[in-house]
Structure 1
């Protein structure tokens, strides 16, 4: 009868002893560094200069704000009259119109476009408002509504050409710039309407009020309110996120379910409504409605957007 040999494993160490050896070996393995420790180690290695650079990258608006503060300090040291309340009042009043146009330009640039017709649309809207109010004798409220309608129509034309024909915004607005300038000159015959002939409501945006010795106009206040409202809409609403998405990548936005053409059209319409407000501010600022005042502010608005970040 064939014998069966009993199989004996090479490692004949008892199970209890082997488990104790494994436990001893496991306790000798150094503990791996966790994510929190790695983050602390990385932060310890960063220099103050790199931290400042990271903050500037995370908050792009900080850089132009620092430049603005430094510029004010430098010019204030070079000329003692720079920080004079009268000079500050003049500066704020001068930037009211350009600042309002820059809001409209910002919306267009966020969609990877550019609008060269913002100044011409503003002038056309202001002249329609003034002409209907003074020449046709309509109420100033109706005149402002008509000016708003003209600005919306101009924005709709730009948006239609960009979305339906897929033309570059630069080419479209370069063409409509000349169209709107020609329409303004034909409609007004180049005549300027004085503020003395207008109702008080049209020149109300030029009304001044004093804060801490500095005279501000109602137009400046309207510009600041517009900045706050548009900033809130862009950051806190779905429409604002869609605007950013379309500007980043139109195809990706379309694949994500965003109606790109609808967003673009709404942006141009919103820009048109802001330009109508800018036209009202322009009338109050200059106390007149001129077919030549502000036509070339398109480049100033682009500069303001680029420098402002």
Structure 2
């Protein structure tokens, strides 16, 4: 026997096995949640409503209270939409709240103090929001700086500009209503069947629907997910990743300006100190809504559910007599659970 023949006799004779093994129920659940990112927040929202309807009774399920929850989450949801666009690209924007307040101050100062027609003042505020987003986008795409560091820095810049331009003065609701009622239009309320619905709530739903269409029915939306999932592969596929990222930050800035309009309608007045928790609240809504902080995964509907979950839990706990301290404690626990669940779901694609 030749030497090479002796070696061949010791070869591995096993063959590849391509049989599909049956998944366990837990694995099937994991795959289902990976394919349907809005399923978890939808289930949590339904369970929250059911739980607080049993704990707080009819007060929670009353039409007026449910419409109040919808009003309370309007600003969080609008800013959350802007944050969702950034998070899908594997970034984060810590300046959304500062942009929103700066735009509201610009609108108010021009319309109330300078006598500029309210629609033009509104347009100027939207332009400022777009410019702020463009600055963030340019720093991220041109200088290749991390979004977290960039937006942390611009948050301080925009907040300082806000205090300087407003002189730390609040424009009263009466003055806004007298000189620029257009800016308060989203605060217009309509009573129906015991519920009080505002124009801002309807505007929020229209915005969510419009952004959902862009993300799911346009090439730009597909490019956005591709850039967030794997920027190198997206670049090799011919997607101009830098252009997509820049436009996303500009769009986020414009949406923050629309959030400023919503903020004015909600509180009536224009304060440079308003919306101080908007940055955190927007991240909370996005994370609880099922978006992945690693990019490439998330939905606008999920963000809407996330904002509603925060509103339902805070409202339900308040009606149950729980102190505000423990309300924030509960929201913090929800964030940790949402991130842990996202890590588990991501193992499907690992």
Q: After TM superposition, is the score higher than 0.5? A: yes
Kindly provide the CA deviation profile for residues 79-99 of structure 1, in whole angstroms up to 9, marking residues without a partner as x: 011112222122111100010
Residue 95 of structure 2 corresponds to which residue in structure 1?
A: 117
Contact 1:181 1:295 in 2 (8 A): no
Equivalent positions of 1:180-191 (< 5 A) are 180-191=158-169
Q: How much does 1:195 deviate?
A: 2.0
| In 2: Cα distance, 1:50 partner to 1:171 partner | 37
Equivalent residue of 1:137, what SS? coil
Q: Identify the residue that residue 294 of structure 1 maps to in structure 2.
A: 275
- 1:223 aligns to what? 204
Is 2:57 aligned against 1:57?
A: no
Residue 247 in 1 paired to residue 224 in 2?
Answer: no
Q: Which consecutive unaligned segments of at least 5 residues does structure 1 have? A: 1-34
- Paired residues in the alignment total 269
Match of 2:294 in 1: none
Deviation at 1:117, TM superposition (A): 0.2
Q: CA deviation at 1:60?
A: 1.5
Superposition deviation, residue 295 in structure 1: 2.9
- How far does the alpha carbon of each residue in 1:52-105 deviate from its partner, in whole angstroms, 9 at most, with x for none? 544323211011100100001101100011112222122111100010000000
Aligned to 1:74: 51
Partners of 1:296 and 1:173 in 2: CA distance: 15
After TM superposition, give the deviation of residue 50 of structure 1 in Å.
Answer: 5.5
Q: Which runs of 5+ in 2 are unaligned?
A: 1-17, 291-350
Distance, in Å, in 1 between the alignment partners of 2:240 and 2:154 is: 25
Quote the residue 2:10 is aligned against: none
1:280-291 → structure 2 map (5 Å cutoff): 280-291=261-272
Larger Rg: 1
Deviates more, 1:110-119 or 1:194-203: 194-203
Work out the CA distance in 2 between the residues paired with 1:166 and 1:57: 30
> The residue matched to 2:182 in structure 1 has which SS?
coil
Q: Distance in 1 between matches of 2:132 and 2:24?
A: 52
Equivalent position of 2:326 in the other structure: none
Cα deviation per residue 1:187-228 (whole Å; 9 max; x = unaligned)?
111111122212221100001123443211111111111111
In structure 2, how many angstroms separate the alpha carbons of the residues matched to 1:289 and 1:180?
16
Deviation readout 1:217-241 (Å, 9 max, x if unpaired): 1111111111111111101100001
Q: What's the C-alpha RMSD, in Å, of the aligned pairs?
A: 1.7
CA distance in 2, matches of 1:58, 1:260: 25
Equivalent residue number for residue 79 of structure 2 = 101
Counterpart-to-counterpart distance in 2, 1:270 and 1:285: 22
Mean Cα deviation higher: 198-207 or 208-217: 208-217
d(CA) in 2 for partners of 1:164 and 1:46?
46
| Compared CA separation, residues 257 and 76, structure 1 to 2 (3 A) | same
Q: Following superposition of structure 1 onto structure 2, how do residues 1-309 of structure 1 map, counting pairs within 5 Å?
A: 51-80=28-57, 81-198=59-176, 199-309=180-290
TM-score by length of 2: 0.74
SS at match of 1:289: coil
Deviation above 2 Å: which 4+ runs of structure 1? Answer: 45-57, 210-213
